[in-house]
Every structure is written in C-alpha cells, then in structure tokens.
Structure 1
C-alpha cells in the first residue's frame, strides 16, 4: 500500500525533479469525463463517442501540462535566486513546488510567487488567441473548443491563485509585501497564514451550506477550503521551524555520549542491563570498534522470540548516520527524523559522538524562541 501511495517520478527539467501522485490520475479522468460528456458534444455536436473521448483525453493531458508549466515557473524563478527546489508535484488539486529554503529577500519572494500566475495568464492568452484565430479561419470546432476551454481554465487558475491567502501564490505575494514594508518575514508569514485559514474556512462554510441546501457539487468547495486552511497552518509551522533552526548544527542540539547497545550482546543480556536504566527507550547499536550498526528499542528487544541466542546486531534497525557539523535543517530534510524515527547516530571524526532525536529537535525549536543556540554555547 505504501508503494502505491508514493509519488511516481516522471522526469527532470533543469535539475528539478517532477513527480505525480496517484490522485493526479483522478484529475485526468474527471476532466476527460466532463469534456467528453458535458462540454464537447454541446460545442461540437455530431461526432462519434470515440472522437469525443480522444479529444477529451488530449485536452485533459494538455491541462495537466499547463499546471506543470505553472509550477515549473515557480521552480525556475526560485533557482535564479539560489533557492533550493526539492521537487515539483502534480496531484488531485493541481500542483505544488517544494522548496528547501526560504526566499532570501522580499523581492525574490514576490517574483517566485508571481511567476506561477503569470505563466497561467500567458498560457491562457496564448491558447485563447489560438482558438480565436482558428475560429475566424474556419478551424474545426473540435479543436477550437478545447483550446478555448484551456484558455478560460488557465485564466481562472491564475485568478484563484492570486487570492491573498496562504498557501496560494497570492498569500506569498502578501507575505513578500508585508516583509518588504515591515522588514519582518515572520510577520508576513503570520498575516498570510491567518488570511489562508480565514479564506479556507469561508470556503468550507459556503460549500457545506450549499450542499445542505441541495447543491451537492458545492461540497467540492468545502474540500478545497479544508485543504487551504490546513496547509496554511502547516506552511507557517514549517517556515517558523526553519527560522528557529537556521544555522543550527547537529552538535549543538544532539544528546552527547549516549548509552549504547553492544551489538555482540544477546537481546536477553541487553534487556537485563537496561532494567537498571528506566529513562531511555531507544539506543544506538555499536560494533566492537565503536562503529554504529543501527538502533534498537526496548519494544523490539522484547518481541524477539529467542532472546537468549539472538544478537542485538541482528535485530538493529538501519537508520541514516549524520555528522556532528551538519545543519539540523539538512538532517531533517534528508532523513525521516521528522516523521517519527526515534534517533539517528551522530558521528564526529568517524566515532559515535551522540544521537539526534525528535525530542532534541523539539527542544531546540522551543529554546531558540528565546535564546540563540550559538549564544547559549558561547556563554
């Protein structure tokens, strides 16, 4: 099931990885269905069902490509300002561009945000002009109609994305403007996030109310609104964490010199030893030369059938190993630590120097609200 839910890589463009979530297929099928049965037969009557299906499918694919252009414009503009782009994703509600860092200036923030709607407007105008030209010159309605539909949809996408509420592009424009006027990026994020939650909850109310009144299709507005409200809060939390942990190194927040689990011991021996330490649940497993071999938890030890004859190294979980001088944000980005992994071993000069866990990151995030960690270290 997890494999099925993973995004599928579909290519790279100028170093940007492009993936598609399985739900993007639902969008393609839905758009194809609407065009085939509701739009094309009315605008261009008299064709066979097969012709409508082919035209609808091609238009649907073109629509997804226009969404991809929208997101790639964000990505490529971000790269111009030195902002890391993790990937571009297509999914049920459109697309998303994941950045590895915050924009360095309000100008960069504004231009990256505006690039997407600007591209959608350009796509809409281009397809609209093509449709008009073909219509005037006697082109087939089966070609003119899809082009005009693409033009209208892209212009609507641009308009919707310019709503001044996170996580929409308009919300990022608001963030950039507030940041520019006040010099406070966090304040810009706060204003944008509040607007996003208000707008999202407003859509939920309208959609739910419409559905109750008998207009069931309006329920889709409630789904979109719930998504916007949730991700507005999530985006603010993520950006706040980046601000708090910016330039913080693993060695500043790790748990140093942790108790270790000798890999050559049996599970039974280790459990007996751990009975004297009631304050830890997960331990780095080390080889005789001190090299980390993974991690093991008490719950995993307890579940071993033959604890008396099973070595700890045989049941150790493989986890990434990080360096003491790495950035905490980089570690969170490249490991699953932020998704519940208990600990990762930390090396310094090839030797185990400590462990980094979710609790360590949470502590660093909370304490950094009041004290810069480098100031704490220097005092």
Structure 2
C-alpha cells in the first residue's frame, strides 16, 4: 500500500493528468520515499531541538538513541510500503505481456517407440524445440522433458526411446493457448511442472510451454522500465 491517503490522492491526480496509472503510482511512491527520508532525518532533529516538547537537556544520551531508532523504524515502514506499492503496480502493468501463445515452443508429435535421435532429427527439420509423445491416433500422451534430453549423451540417443524421457500428461498440464497474465500464472501454479501442453480451443496441439520460458519472460518484463 502507499504510505497514506495523501499518496493515493497524488496517484489519482497524476493518473488523471498523464492518463497512465503507473505514472501516478511512481510519483506517489517516490513522494513516500521522500517522506521516509524526511522522517529519518527530521524526527531526531525536532526532538533534540525541543520542537516536539523534549527538554534541551535531554537531547543527548539515551533519548537521542531512542529518537534515532524510532525515526529509523518509521522511515523503514514508510519506505517499504512505497516500494511494495511500486512493485505491485509494475506487476499489474507487465502481467498481460505473459501470453501462452507467444511463449509456446513449436512441437512435433512422435510415437512412444521413436528413438530420441530420430525425434530430434524431426524436430530440427521442422524448426521445433519440443517433443510431444502421441498414440497411434495422434492423441497426446506425454511430454518429453528438456532436462531429460540434455542428460542423454549423443552416442546413446539412437538407443533411447522418447517414452522413457517423457512425463505423463495430466489435465492440469493442458493449458489453453489463449491464457495470458494472471490467468496463465494461476494455471501453472495449480499444477507445477517443467513443461505444459498448449492446445487450441478445438483441442488441437499448439505446442509446448516451458515453465522456464515463462519465468524468464516474467523477470525480463519486470526489469524493463515502465
């Protein structure tokens, strides 16, 4: 939360003037940080000078230490509140950029007994970066884990079938290509996995979504200036 009602009012005013909610939050957050610094510096000075009712003879020793400690605590609370407000606003602003369709890797379907070397050859020819294990009717059964592929030495790949490197699909590992933002993150949190099958509304396979790709996109979006 912003430090006080004044901060929220400032955010509303700047939002109205600029048309950008993030601009108002940034302005209010920096005002909150300035207030925190003012408290940190000003509160001990006011008490020591007697402007807050303290006797001048009490401006040294334990009273001075307590005043400084109180000012530091209040300043930390205000600064943290302003920082949290800024981070939450940046999160809300960048979440819509996380779209399943944009982050999904193209995948090729392979049957369970396909050697890994052959599956990777097909993927390279198709310009794909993921493998979906399917049955004889083309229905997806499991996803070949990227980490498992990396763990197989190249000379052994002709002798390892893809089904031995795959993770069985559950309902939670099927996500819609239309998911984005908070809905996408909620779907991934509900069923933790390294890869997810992304499908069209018709049920057709669109590709494979890597949790690592989503995390990288999220970190990149949050690091970008608003």
Give the TM-score of the pair, scaled to structure 1.
0.36
Contact 2:15–2:21 (Cα < 8 Å) also in 1: yes
1:286 aligned onto 2:137? no
RMSD: 5.0
Which residue in 1 is equivalent to 2:65? 214
Equivalent pair of 1:321/1:347 in contact (CA under 8 Å): yes
> Structure 2 vs 1, CA of residues 161 and 271 (structure 1 numbering), >3 Å: closer, same or farther?
farther
Instruction: Trace 1:156-167 onto structure 2 (pairs within 5 A).
Output: 161-164=4-7
Tell me if structure 2 keeps the 8 A contact 1:258–1:354: yes
Structure 2: distance between partners of 1:285 and 1:221 = 55
Conserved 8 A contact 1:324-1:347: yes
Which residue in 1 is equivalent to 2:51? Answer: none
| Deviation string, structure 1 residues 265-299 (Cα, Å, up to 9, x no partner) | 59xx537965996xx9x845433234253562325
Counterpart CA distance in 1 for 2:79 and 2:32 is 10
Among candidates 180, 199, 203, match of residue 350 of structure 1: 203
- Where in structure 1 do 4 or more consecutive aligned residues deviate above 6 Å? 204-207
Q: Equivalent of 2:165, from 312, 315, 319? A: 312
Native 8 Å contact 2:149 2:165 kept in 1 = no
What is the SS of the residue equivalent to 1:326? coil
Q: CA, structure 1 residues 345+273, in 2 after alignment: closer, same or farther (shift >3 Å)?
A: closer
Q: Is the 8 A contact 2:198 2:207 kept in 1?
A: yes
Counterpart for residue 297 of structure 1: 146
CA separation of 1:206 and 1:222: change in aligned 2, threshold 3 A: farther
3-state DSSP of counterpart to 2:197: strand
Residue of structure 2 equivalent to 1:119:
none
Contact 1:177/1:188 (8 A) holds in 2: yes
1:239 aligns with 2:95: no
Tell whether the 8 Å contact from 1:204 to 1:225 is kept in structure 2 after alignment: no
Q: Distance in 2 between matches of 1:183 and 1:298?
A: 45
Alignment match, 2:112 = 264
Query: Does structure 2 retain, via aligned residues, the 8 Å contact 1:323–1:346?
Result: yes
Q: Show the counterpart of 1:184.
A: 20
Q: 1:192 to 1:335 in 2, by over 3 A?
A: farther
CA contact (8 A) 1:176 1:188 kept: yes
- Higher RCO (CA < 8 A, seq sep 6+): 2
**Structure whose CA Rg is larger:** 2
Please report how far the alpha carbon of residue 224 of structure 1 lies from its aligned counterpart in structure 2 after TM superposition. Answer: 1.9
Superposed counterparts of 1:2-151, under 5 Å: none
Residue segments in structure 1 that go unaligned for 5+ positions in a row: 1-95, 97-112, 114-159, 165-170, 370-379
Q: Match of 1:331?
A: 184
Stretches of structure 2 that go unaligned for 5 or more consecutive residues are: 46-61, 153-158
- Pair 1:193-2:29 in alignment: yes
How many residue pairs get aligned? The number is 185
Provide closer, same or farther for how the CA distance between residues 232 and 364 of structure 1 changes in structure 2, counting only shifts above 3 A.
Answer: closer
